[in-house]
Structure 1
Amino acid sequence: MNLINKEVTHKRFGKGSVVKHNGSIIEIHFATENKKFVFPDAFGNHLELHDKSSADSLEKVLQKRKIEREKEEQEKEEEKRLQRKEQQLRSEHEKLMKNHKLHPESQMAFWCDAEELSQIFTEWKVFTGAIKSGNNKGTPKIPSRIYQNSVVLLTARESSMPEKDRRILGAFMANEKFIGKFCEDGYIPAHSEYRLQLTEQQSAGMPFWKYYLNEKSPRSMTWNTGKFRYFDNVWMTQILLDMVSLKSDTHERELAQNFFEHFCRMNRIRKEDLPEPNGALMRI
């Protein structure tokens, strides 16, 4: 839009003509001096164009600018709303975790079926299974003890092998924002950083029953039913420590060590206080 030499009227400085116009600045010569204004904003507030054709074109520019500003304001308000909501959720979560008392058995041993193994180690999440009877039949089981201090221990055994040969395949911390009692779909997603998968050779050196036992039948090695069971925080610490020792690759060992140290912090456990593993397999 060429506005050079176009006549204008300013509410305060009177009549003048445009002498310069470069993008966002327009300069106007009045009777005694030149004045610079922001373009096109000044025309919506203080300046008026005399030329009707130019004024009509300018009005379209002003309307477009108005719509753009309204959109920007809406986006800013939406961003502020989302930030407020995020802050509220964060505050509620921090308050909940602050008041959360650590359960001594807030770790989960999970039975991985052969057909779901590849999916678990690509998607890094497990499904707790569905309730099989009663009023809630068919609905997902709620992992109520699982918080951000919890680890899901991945285990399996060959169908042809006895239960005592169940081995550990890997483990992951629950997602940073996961709160089990609020879980409605039964899926426990992994932490973005703390997750480990063992090689077949490493897994062979990690028998599940070396660490786990049923307090009522300490020499019995039976899983019975269900996809998961809760178990002792200390046992999980023993398992993670042994995983560190199994990792020979420098990078993998560092990841395992970081995992172990994070778990100890979250569960207020000191490495120095750890007893030796004493699961059912050690009592035969």
Structure 2
Amino acid sequence: MNLINKKVTHKRFGMGSIVQHNDSSIEIHFATETKKFVYPDVFGEHLILHDKSVANSLEKIIQKKEMERKAEEWKKEEEKKLQRKNQELRLEHEKLMKKHKLHPESQMVFWCDTEEQSRSLSEWQVFSGEIKSGTNKGKPNKPIRLHQNSAVLLTAIDSDIPEKDRRILGVYMVNEEFIGKLCEDGNIPAHSKYRLQLTEQESDQMLFWKYYVNEKTPHKMTWNTGKYRYFDNLWMAQILLDIVSLKSDPKERELAQQFFEHYCKMNQITDRELPKPDGALMRI
């Protein structure tokens, strides 16, 4: 809008003529001096345009800017509310972390069926399944033992292969913010960095029952039912250490080593005192 030479009246400085303006300021020459004002804020209460047609057009611009200003204020207020909510969640999270005590079996091994094998390794997430009976039937299982110190082991076995040959496909630490007690949807996402996938050749060398044992029936290798089970923190450390030695690619080996060290730190495990694997396969 061109306002140059338009006549105006200011309630303090009297009549004048617009000599310059841009999107943020306007300059007006009055009888004895030239003044600069904020544009378009000065119009309305302080400054009146003589040209009614231009004044109407300017009023629409002012209304539009006022709506934009209110929208911006609303946006900022919503951002403040979101920040307050996030702060409350962080405080709740920190409180849970302070109260958290390491459970000796806070790791998860997951049985991937054929469809889940590729999906779990591409999406780096597993679903804990649904409750089968009772008042909560149909609701997702809450993986209550899983915390920031937990890792999820992905395993699989072909239908025509004996259980003792169950293979390890990969492993990941749970997401940095994950707390099993707060998990409502049953989805267990992976850490942004600590996740390892094994090649088929590597997987053939990493048999789950080399590490895992049911202490009640130490010589039996049976899964029975369910998609997952918890297992010992030390066993996961043994698995990670063996993956480190298995990796030949320097970058993958370095990541595996960092994963192992991070895991041991989170689970207060001294790697030098780590016992050798003594799963059911080692007891035959």
**C-alpha separation in 2, matches of 1:12 and 1:40:** 17
Aligned to 2:88: 88
* TM superposition shift of 1:96: 1.0
**C-alpha separation in 1, matches of 2:227 and 2:214:** 16
Aligned to 2:102: 102
Question: How big is each residue's C-alpha offset from its partner over 1:93-120, in whole Å with a ceiling of 9 and x where there is no partner?
Answer: 1221121111110000111112321111
**C-alpha separation in 1, matches of 2:109 and 2:48:** 76
* TM superposition shift of 1:263: 1.2
Question: Aligned pairs, how many?
Answer: 284
- Give the aligned residue type for 1:257: Q
**C-alpha separation in 2, matches of 1:111 and 1:23:** 64
Contact 2:131 2:139 in 1 (8 A): yes
Contact 1:13 1:30 in 2 (8 A): yes
**C-alpha separation in 2, matches of 1:2 and 1:207:** 79
Aligned to 1:251: 251
Cα distance, 1:147–1:14 mapped onto 2, change above 3 Å: same
Aligned to 1:115: 115
Aligned to 1:225: 225
Question: Is 1:43 aligned to residue 37 of structure 2?
Answer: no
Q: SS state of the match for residue 41, structure 1? A: coil
* TM superposition shift of 1:80: 1.5
Question: How big is each residue's C-alpha offset from its partner over 1:154-180, in whole Å with a ceiling of 9 and x where there is no partner?
Answer: 112222222211121111111222221
Equivalent runs, 1:185-264 vs 2, <5 Å: 185-264=185-264
Cα distance, 1:58–1:203 mapped onto 2, change above 3 Å: same
Contact 1:44 1:62 in 2 (8 A): no
Unaligned runs of 5+ in 1: none
Aligned to 2:69: 69
Contact 2:117 2:156 in 1 (8 A): no
Normalising by structure 1, report the TM-score: 0.94
Q: SS state of the match for residue 195, structure 1? A: strand
Contact 1:152 1:172 in 2 (8 A): yes
**C-alpha separation in 1, matches of 2:77 and 2:137:** 44
* TM superposition shift of 1:140: 2.5
* TM superposition shift of 1:45: 4.0
Measured on the aligned residues, the alpha-carbon RMSD in Å equals: 1.6
Of all paired residues, the percent bearing the same amino acid is 72
